[in-house]
Structures are given as structure tokens and as C-alpha cells.
Amino acid sequence: MKKSFYLFVLTFRGGDWNDKKSRFAESAFLDHSFPKTSTSFEELSSYIETMADEHMTTQAFDELWDIYETKYR
């Protein structure tokens, strides 16, 4: 079974705050409405574009999604 994007992102928590992927992970963790079980690019990108804060940028999401897809194809 494919790991949810949220669980994958949590592996970036605790990193250097200058790393946008670490900031994204911390923000996703603190966001109680983040789609925690999703593996859908469309659902996640829509959420990021409409609901996310300044640390959950689309640029960080795109980088994380590329890593996620490579790892969990």
C-alpha cells in the first residue's frame, strides 16, 4: 500500500528552517485540516493552492511531490 503524502512529508520535520521542505512539513503537521490520507496530486495541489499558509508553498509542494512519486511509484 502506498504511504500517504502527509506521512512522507513528516519525514522532513525537524530539519533546517531554511529548507523550504522542512518548513512545509512543519506547517502540514500543525495544519489539522491537511488531507492526511491523500495520495492524490489533484486533491493535495488544490488544497495547497487554496488553504495553505505561507510555509506550504507550491514550489515546496512540487519538489516534495517529485520525491514522493519517485519513491512510491
Domain ranges across the chain: 5-71
pLDDT band at 45 (very low <50, low <70, confident <90, very high): very high
Q: How far apart are CA 28 and CA 51, in angstroms?
A: 11
User: Is it the case that residue 1 has pLDDT exceeding 80?
Assistant: no
Query: What is the structure's pLDDT at 11?
Result: 96
pLDDT at residue 70 above 80? yes
| Other residues' Cβ atoms within 10 Å of the Cβ of residue 10 | 16
Give domain 5-71's CATH superfamily.
YozE SAM-like (1.10.150.260)
Confidence of residue 9 (pLDDT cuts 50, 70, 90): very high
Q: What DSSP character marks residue 35?
A: -
Question: 495553505: which residue's cell?
Answer: 52
- One-letter identity of residue 37: T
CA dihedral over 28, 57, 23, 5, signed as positive or negative: positive
pTM of the model: 0.90
